[in-house]
């Protein structure tokens, strides 16, 4: 009930995954955000009423059971029929659970759901499905790691004859329309705005995430699959493996890394990207530290051996960005507490001073995110460097309805929901020396800024930027290639270009 009233959802593998991935800090933030919400209070009240009803029935059962209607023959017949129906339902469910048990991968689980339409939505079946999903995910991860091992045995090279730095930044929960880079009224992205005006940054206008879940986005952007072509992430290479094999020093600093050991830990993305075997093939350096803010993580990187310049570098950061609880995403100093509720010019009926401050805090977190990006690229400004930044997905912060975070609510999938939760900022920045060395490549990037794109194909851009010589490069999936072919974008089960854009 709590899940339905607060988030408009029910028990699912994603909920199990989120619980498994949540650490103490995130739990505290969750309670701060939702424990006293309207839906939560209704849940508490309903549970209290149920307890009162049970106590009442227990105390008065002797009086109730002597009622004449309970002693009638038709009552016994009705109860008998109900018992038979429950028995038949149990036999039917045994078949469902057996076929569930036979599923080995998540795509098989998805077919299982389709084949069992109408999907049994009782709590027990939903819980069984959700609890079994980690086993399917484990099988996928094993295949993906074995695949990386095989790829590592193959020769690989790129087309770069000089030094190069490739920076790959995965942001978090960035609502595109809250960036001044994309026309927002408040100056939330001053660094990116300035670099765009100078010609060193391209802001792509028509990019969407394939999912609104961090884990699903990571698996499908760090691997070489294309969802539009029906490819599974675990049947294609993890792209950092290809870069390391091609001679790059590969570093990953991930503020969302979680070392908590529990039964569902391997259901998260961390069980894949930090698998011990995979790490050997994929990275030269990783960080195992915890940080409160993204900027602290960046500082740690530049203090580490990983920041020492090699001839070819792939440097990857995974930020906390503007994740829900935006007030906790930036240091509360004068520099970053720039916006307050007074700056939010919104007058909807559901808007309050507190909600305006929530929006202002989100904008402050966006300002801090821009600062973090600046901290990352500044040391590389005088070196041949290209940076790709995009957010894993969007978010909502009272943008068009009385809701924040990522939930469907009673309205289900709507154009606005897809717009705010799936449209993402996507930018490519290049140093002046990179521009001078690769003018044609820079022109190709600038010529592609308005093409439609889904971020699951981002590795194709990285392969193009470095001239990676691999069979996994597909020019028709490469946004900055003249041979790029846009494909139908099915997002949240709808055709994005027909449902949202038009």
Give the model confidence (pLDDT) of 111-155 as tens digits: 776 666 555 556 666 677 777 777 787 888 888 889 888 888 888
Same domain (yes/no): 90, 52 = yes
Does 379 score more than 50 pLDDT? yes
CATH number of the domain enclosing 217: 3.40.720.10
pTM of the model as a whole: 0.79
Same domain (yes/no): 86, 228 = no
Q: Tell whether 249 is covered by a domain.
A: yes
Please tell me the predicted confidence (pLDDT) of residue 99.
81
Q: Tell whether 150 is covered by a domain.
A: no
Same domain (yes/no): 44, 193 = no
Higher pLDDT, 200 or 23: 200
Higher pLDDT, 33 or 262: 33
Q: What is the DSSP string of 374-435?
A: HHHHGGGTTSSEEEEEEES---EESSSSS-EES---TT-S-HHHHHHHHB--EEEEE-HHHH
Closest CA to 269 of 95, 137, 465, 382: 137
Q: Tell whether 155 is covered by a domain.
A: no
What does the mean pLDDT of the chain come to?
A: 86
Last residue of a domain, one of 100, 125, 140: 140
> Which long-range contacts does 144-149 make (Cβ < 8 Å, 24+ apart)?
144/223, 144/233, 144/234, 144/235, 144/238, 144/272, 144/278, 145/272, 145/275, 145/277, 145/278, 147/234, 147/235, 147/236, 147/237, 148/237, 148/238, 148/241, 148/277, 148/278, 148/281, 148/282, 149/277, 149/281
How sure is the predictor about 375, in pLDDT bands with cuts at 50, 70 and 90? very high
Same domain (yes/no): 128, 232 = no
Same domain (yes/no): 189, 49 = no
Last residue of a domain, one of 92, 109, 140: 140
**Which residues are 207's β-sheet partners?**
453
Q: How far is CA 146 from CA 150, 222, 277, 365, 457, in A?
A: 7, 16, 9, 39, 22
Same domain (yes/no): 203, 323 = yes
pLDDT in tens, 413-444: 899 999 999 999 999 999 999 999 999 999 99
Does 29 score more than 60 pLDDT? no
Does 103 score more than 50 pLDDT? yes
Q: Tell whether 149 is covered by a domain.
A: no
Q: Tell whether 156 is covered by a domain.
A: no
Same domain (yes/no): 359, 429 = yes
pLDDT in tens, 270-327: 778 988 889 999 999 999 899 999 999 999 999 999 999 999 999 999 999 999 999 9
What are the structure tokens assigned to 251, written together? Answer: 């570093």
Please tell me the predicted confidence (pLDDT) of residue 84.
85
Does 184 score more than 80 pLDDT? yes
The single residue listed with the structure tokens 């991930």 is 254
Same domain (yes/no): 250, 102 = no
Same domain (yes/no): 291, 396 = yes
Same domain (yes/no): 247, 113 = no
Last residue of a domain, one of 73, 106, 140: 140
Please tell me the predicted confidence (pLDDT) of residue 263.
32
Does 381 score more than 50 pLDDT? yes
Does 218 score more than 60 pLDDT? yes
Question: Which range marks the domain in which residue 117 is found?
Answer: 2-140
Domain count for the chain, please give it. 2
What are the structure tokens assigned to 435, written together? Answer: 């521009």
- CA–CA gap between residue 302 and residue 283 (Å, rounded): 17
How sure is the predictor about 3, in pLDDT bands with cuts at 50, 70 and 90? very low
Same domain (yes/no): 193, 229 = yes
């Amino acid at each position: 009930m709590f899940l339905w009233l607060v988030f408009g959802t029910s028990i699912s593998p994603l909920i199990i995954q989120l619980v498994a991935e949540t650490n103490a800090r995130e739990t505290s933030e969750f309670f701060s955000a939702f424990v006293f919400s309207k839906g939560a209070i209704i849940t508490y009240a309903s549970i209290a009423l149920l307890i009162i009803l049970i106590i009442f029935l227990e105390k008065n059962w002797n009086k109730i059971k002597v009622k004449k209607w309970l002693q009638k023959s038709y009552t016994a017949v009705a109860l008998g029929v109900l018992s038979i129906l429950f028995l038949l339902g149990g036999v039917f469910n045994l078949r469902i659970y057996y076929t569930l048990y036979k599923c080995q991968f998540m795509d098989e689980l998805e077919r299982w759901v389709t084949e069992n339409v109408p999907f049994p939505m009782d709590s027990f079946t939903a819980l069984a499905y959700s609890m079994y999903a980690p086993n399917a995910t484990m099988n996928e991860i094993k295949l993906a790691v074995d695949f990386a091992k095989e790829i590592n045995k193959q020769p690989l090279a790129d087309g770069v004859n000089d030094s190069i730095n490739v920076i790959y930044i995965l942001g978090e929960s960035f609502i595109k329309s809250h960036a001044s880079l994309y026309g927002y009224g408040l100056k939330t992205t001053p660094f990116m705005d300035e670099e765009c005006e100078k010609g060193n940054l391209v802001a792509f206008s028509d990019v969407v995430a394939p999912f609104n879940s961090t884990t699903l986005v990571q698996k499908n952007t760090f691997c070489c699959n294309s969802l539009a072509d029906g490819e599974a992430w675990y049947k294609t290479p993890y792209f950092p493996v290809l870069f390391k094999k091609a001679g790059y020093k590969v570093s990953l600093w991930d503020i969302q890394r979680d070392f908590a050991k529990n039964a569902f830990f391997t259901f998260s993305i961390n069980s894949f990207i930090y698998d011990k075997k995979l790490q050997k093939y994929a990275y030269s350096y990783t960080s195992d530290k915890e940080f409160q803010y993204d900027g602290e993580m960046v500082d740690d990187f530049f203090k580490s051996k990983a920041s020492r310049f090699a001839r070819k570098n792939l440097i990857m950061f995974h930020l906390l960005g503007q994740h829900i609880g935006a007030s906790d995403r930036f240091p509360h100093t004068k520099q970053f507490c720039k916006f307050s509720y007074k700056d939010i010019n919104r007058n909807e009926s559901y808007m309050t001073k507190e909600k305006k401050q929530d929006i202002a805090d989100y904008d402050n977190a966006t300002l801090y995110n821009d600062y973090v990006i600046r901290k990352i690229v500044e040391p590389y400004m005088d070196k041949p460097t290209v940076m790709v930044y995009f957010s894993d997905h969007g978010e909502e912060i009272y943008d068009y309805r009385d809701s924040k975070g990522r939930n469907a609510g009673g309205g289900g999938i709507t154009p606005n929901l897809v717009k705010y939760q799936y449209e993402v900022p996507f930018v490519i920045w290049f140093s002046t020396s990179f521009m001078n060395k690769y003018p044609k490549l820079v022109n190709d990037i600038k010529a592609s800024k308005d093409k439609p794109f889904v971020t699951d194909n981002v590795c194709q851009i990285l392969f193009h930027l470095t001239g990676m010589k691999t069979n996994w490069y597909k020019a028709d999936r490469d946004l900055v290639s003249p041979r790029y072919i846009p494909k139908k974008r099915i997002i949240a089960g709808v055709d994005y270009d027909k449902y949202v854009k038009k």
